[in-house]
Structure 1
Amino acid sequence: MTLRWALVAALGALVVSGCATEAPDYQSVWSSPSATPATPAPDLVPLSKFLEDSGVVGQPVSPEMLEDLTVSMPTPAGWQPYQDSSLSPGTRMIAKGNTYPTAMLMVFELDGEFDVAEALTHADDDAQMSQNFRMLNSSTKDFEGFPSTMIEGSYDLANNRMHTYNRVVIATGAPPARKRYLVQFTVTGYAEQAVADAPDMEKIIEGFTVSVPGAAPATR
């Protein structure tokens, strides 16, 4: 099965104060977008295309079915599993009510050799290709000992201004197989409700984890 990537533009994520190294500029997020959508840079290449062009095949895996890697996110009080036939197999999504805010977790087992560092340079391209995307913060630091990249920002979706937190982790499972996985974690909400939703969002983002069972906890 060829790797298929969940576009940040479609599911997005919510940035909350306290999760970034620098407080997001909410005034910028809430302000009316310009009449002309920003034109993405011509060299932006979505991560899915980079991996496919590199000959990498991805198989979706339900997080709870993993035996050599632990991938999870917490469910705050008042949130519940969200089911949608349009979601890729194995996708785990929770929501507060029947709409936003939501949090989504996807895992792919990867087959094929590729340059991890180069791949991660494309991990944020989907977000930057979203309509009127404005970046608030980003990071290329490892996450719990694994190569990772994170981007925070806002974009337009169906006449709403959305607030997005997106993290991609390329993890290696336990020996002897040491399988390679791609993990995508996104949290999504309306920008105008960012402050009210912040407590739950912080719990979800802070509670997200990727680790090898039995290994010593790594520093984020």
Structure 2
Amino acid sequence: MTARPVLAAALAAVLACGCTTEAPDYQSVWSTPSSAPAPEPESTATQAAQVPLSQFLEEIGVVGQPVAPDKLADLTVSMPTPAGWEPYRDASLAPGTRMIAKGDTYPTAMLMVFELDGEFDAATALRHADVDAEMSENFRRLGSSDDDFNGFPSSVIEGSYDLAGSRMHTYNRVVIATGAPPQRQRYLVQFTVTGYADKAAEEAPDIEAIINGFTVEVPGGATAPR
């Protein structure tokens, strides 16, 4: 199984997006007017990397296999579940995907982990991390960062887009993590939180709690291997 069939389906399914290593001011992002904004100039990421991350990995021969976050022994990947949120299951999601939702629809939070096999440069790969998000209908980038996350290479983007007649806000972080020695297995971690723009104020506390509680780290508090 190559990276593209699994990763492409997974990345497209979440309509990805991400931000900074500081605690995000997510309420201000979600307070953006819900009407579709005027188009902005293409971002640097879009100009430099029109190829989505999944396609880039496939083209350089990197293979990806989905792994449930709670099955990892050499890496801790988790997100909290606020009161009132429940596990959400969808047959179209990649095996091992963890997804939670509040009610029967949005807001949702999704966590995916892929075990990677193949050599690649993380910084180069992450230049493609925002492409899927920026290809969403009427996408508007509200914030982004390529700062490390807990010592791991990462890219994060926040933005809004149109979906089935609704304006959505989304936060997406991609982390290229390395597990504990001796294997030092490399993983792609994708964390996405999405909700309706017109429910920003009431959902902001839960959304912020999920984002701030998202964790990718080597067990035992060891320094993240590079």
1:57 paired with 2:57, answer no
Alpha-carbon distance between aligned partners in 2 of 1:10 and 1:214, rounded to the nearest angstrom: 31
**CA displacement 1:73-132 (0-9 Å, x = unmatched):** 000000010011111101000000110000000000000001111000000111011110
**CA displacement 1:39-64 (0-9 Å, x = unmatched):** 87595110000000010000100001
Q: Which residue of 1 aligns with 2:165?
A: 159
Superposition map of 1:17-166 within 5 A: 19-20=24-25, 23-24=28-29, 26-27=31-32, 29-33=33-37, 43-166=49-172
Superposition map of 1:6-25 within 5 A: 6-7=10-11, 10-12=14-16, 19-20=24-25, 23-24=28-29
Partner AA of 1:153 in structure 2: G
The answer as to whether partners of 1:14 and 1:191 remain within 8 angstroms in 2 is: no
Same amino acid, percent of matched pairs: 66
SS in 1 for 2:209: helix
Alpha-carbon distance between aligned partners in 2 of 1:21 and 1:96, rounded to the nearest angstrom: 17
The structural deviation recorded for 1:19 is 1.1
The structural deviation recorded for 1:14 is 9.3
**CA displacement 1:125-182 (0-9 Å, x = unmatched):** 1101111000000011100110001000000111110001000000000000000000
Alpha-carbon distance between aligned partners in 2 of 1:111 and 1:74, rounded to the nearest angstrom: 29
Alpha-carbon distance between aligned partners in 1 of 2:34 and 2:13, rounded to the nearest angstrom: 17
Partner AA of 1:7 in structure 2: L
- Check 1:141–1:20 CA distance in 2 against 1; reply closer, same or farther (3 A cut): farther
- Check 1:182–1:125 CA distance in 2 against 1; reply closer, same or farther (3 A cut): same
Partner AA of 2:192 in structure 1: T
Alpha-carbon distance between aligned partners in 1 of 2:72 and 2:137, rounded to the nearest angstrom: 35
The answer as to whether partners of 2:162 and 2:168 remain within 8 angstroms in 1 is: yes
Q: Which runs of 5+ in 2 are unaligned?
A: none
Count of equivalent residues: 214
- Check 1:191–1:101 CA distance in 2 against 1; reply closer, same or farther (3 A cut): same
Q: Which moved more, 1:194-203 or 1:5-14?
A: 5-14
The structural deviation recorded for 1:215 is 2.3
Partner AA of 1:170 in structure 2: I
The structural deviation recorded for 1:195 is 1.3
The answer as to whether partners of 1:14 and 1:188 remain within 8 angstroms in 2 is: no
Partner AA of 1:31 in structure 2: S
The structural deviation recorded for 1:12 is 4.5
Alpha-carbon distance between aligned partners in 2 of 1:25 and 1:175, rounded to the nearest angstrom: 40
Alpha-carbon distance between aligned partners in 2 of 1:200 and 1:43, rounded to the nearest angstrom: 33
Q: Which residue of 1 aligns with 2:188?
A: 182
Q: Which runs of 5+ in 1 are unaligned?
A: none
SS in 2 for 1:24: helix
The answer as to whether partners of 1:47 and 1:122 remain within 8 angstroms in 2 is: yes
Alpha-carbon distance between aligned partners in 2 of 1:189 and 1:217, rounded to the nearest angstrom: 34
The answer as to whether partners of 1:38 and 1:132 remain within 8 angstroms in 2 is: no
Superposition map of 1:169-208 within 5 A: 169-208=175-214
The structural deviation recorded for 1:30 is 1.4
